[in-house]
């Protein structure tokens, strides 16, 4: 029996401030899949749902509820929670499920964040950092990433302009993504002069608060061939952890978990970095995209900033990053983000990405980070 794992369908709700329940959002994501998911649901054996449980909807046991509203009971379904990497890990689980013998599995994610007041959102976001040493000591999440940015600036001469340029690019990309939260171009000047959130990060260095859901169907090669002529293969899966609290890490100008997860994924895929055509990376803050460019090994440490200024990672650059708009402008509904990235890779590789379609792409990478880097997944997908 083939050990290959395919993604055969993928969809997502719009991301944004939507006023919908998690159940409605999950149905929206199912309906967005090109394939008839009703039949696929009858063949599904395992379901993994990423959800941080920020909003006041179903705090415990949500996976059964969601799949019930997808009109299916009686199968294995579970919630996976690793902060903002929840559905990156859900995708890894669904991948492992097929490798272990299941014929069809589902990875998805959902988050409702905008039913909370901004104050409560701030409290909830902090739960992804270390409670004892960070959250209860007053560190906000932006504050934690600001420390990493400051250190990167100190070590490598990284500038606020480099960071702001990431925001400008991702906002520009999102204009061509109908599912994105923002459809508004911003100028470098606007980004540089936005209100300071946590020095050196301004408002436009930070991703928004988003509602949304995403869902991906995975299948064995045998099943995939029946449903589609263009299965997208998962050729590499990597996952790693690191110390939860920033102060425990030897270096804070890098995310070690990204480096380790990438090593696993690229070794398994048996490819070189140069064979990866585009990437969706975890840009919860602009500094996070810059760190990802380096820690994924596309650039040496300290060299990503210049690459950004050269527009290497623009839609017509040598390595387009976050063509979807990224977390920054597509939106970041925590639990839905990881599989949301897979949706973009799938759409690009199946040439269903509309106005933002990249030309001649064969291999894409998704990079999903939990907290400030305590957890991370990297997945490599490839079309034949």
Which residues of the shown chain bind its own copies in the complex (CB under 8 A)? 46, 52-53, 56-61, 63-65, 67-68, 73-83, 89, 92-93, 96-97, 99-101, 127-132, 239-244, 248, 256-257, 260, 370-371, 374-375, 377
Q: HSE on the CB side for 129, CA within 13 Å?
A: 24
Smallest CA-to-CA distance from 85 within 384, 367, 380 is with: 367
* φ/ψ bin of 238: left (φ > 0), alpha (ψ from -120 to 50), beta (otherwise): beta
**Rounded least distance, CB 378 to its own copies, Å:** 11
Q: Does residue 360 sit in helix, strand or coil?
A: coil
DSSP 262-309: HHHHHHHHT--GGG--EEE---SBHHHHHHHHHHTTSS-TT-HHHHHH
Q: Which residues pair with 105 in a beta bridge?
A: 46, 218
Nearer to its own copies, 74 or 195 (CB): 74
Nearer to its own copies, 64 or 190 (CB): 64
**Distance from C-alpha of 268 to C-alpha of 271, rounded to nearest angstrom:** 8
Nearer to its own copies, 57 or 159 (CB): 57
φ, ψ of residue 123 to 5 degrees: the values are: -60, -50
Catalytic residue among 84, 206, 207, 284: 84
**Rounded least distance, CB 68 to its own copies, Å:** 5
Structure tokens given for 283:
């840009």
Nearer to its own copies, 130 or 283 (CB): 130
Nearer to its own copies, 73 or 274 (CB): 73
Active site residue 207: no
Catalytic residue among 152, 171, 282, 332: 332
Active site residue 33: no
Element of type H or E holding 223: helix 221-227
Q: Tokens 């701030």 correspond to what residue?
A: 122
Residues with a known catalytic role = 84, 332
């Amino acid at each position: 029996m083939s050990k290959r794992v395919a993604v055969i369908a993928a969809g997502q709700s719009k991301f944004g401030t939507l006023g919908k329940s998690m159940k409605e959002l999950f149905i929206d994501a199912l309906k967005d899949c090109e394939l008839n998911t009703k039949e696929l649901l009858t063949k599904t054996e395992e379901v993994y749902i990423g959800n941080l449980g920020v909003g006041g909807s179903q705090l415990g046991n949500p996976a059964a509820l969601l799949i019930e509203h997808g009109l299916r009971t009686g199968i294995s379904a579970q919630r996976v929670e690793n902060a903002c990497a929840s559905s990156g890990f859900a995708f890894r689980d669904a991948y492992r499920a097929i490798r272990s013998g299941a014929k069809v599995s589902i990875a998805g994610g959902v988050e409702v964040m905008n039913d909370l007041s901004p104050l409560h959102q701030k409290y909830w976001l902090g739960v992804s950092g270390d409670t004892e040493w960070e959250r209860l000591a007053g560190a906000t999440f932006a504050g934690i990433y600001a420390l990493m940015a400051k250190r990167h600036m100190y070590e490598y001469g990284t500038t606020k302009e480099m960071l702001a340029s990431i925001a400008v690019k991702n906002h520009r990309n999102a204009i061509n993504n109908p599912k994105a939260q923002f459809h508004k171009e911003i100028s470098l000047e606007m980004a540089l002069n936005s209100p300071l959130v946590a020095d050196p990060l301004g408002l436009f260095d930070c991703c928004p608060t988003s509602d949304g859901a995403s869902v991906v169907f995975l299948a064995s090669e045998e099943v995939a061939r029946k449903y589609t002529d263009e299965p997208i293969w998962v050729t590499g899966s990597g996952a790693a952890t690191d110390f939860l609290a920033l102060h425990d890490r030897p270096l804070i100008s890098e995310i070690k978990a990204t480096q380790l997860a990438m090593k696993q994924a690229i070794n398994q895929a048996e490819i070189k970095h140069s064979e990866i055509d585009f990437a969706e990376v975890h840009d919860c803050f602009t500094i996070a995209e810059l760190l990802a460019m380096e820690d994924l090994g596309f650039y040496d440490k300290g060299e990503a900033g210049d690459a950004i200024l050269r527009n290497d990672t623009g839609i017509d650059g040598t390595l387009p990053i976050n063509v979807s708009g990224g977390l920054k402008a597509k939106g970041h509904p925590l639990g839905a983000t990881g599989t949301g990235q897979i949706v973009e890779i799938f759409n690009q590789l199946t040439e269903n990405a509309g106005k933002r379609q990249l030309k001649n792409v064969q291999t894409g990478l998704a990079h999903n980070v939990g907290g400030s880097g305590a957890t991370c997944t990297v997945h490599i997908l490839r079309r034949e």
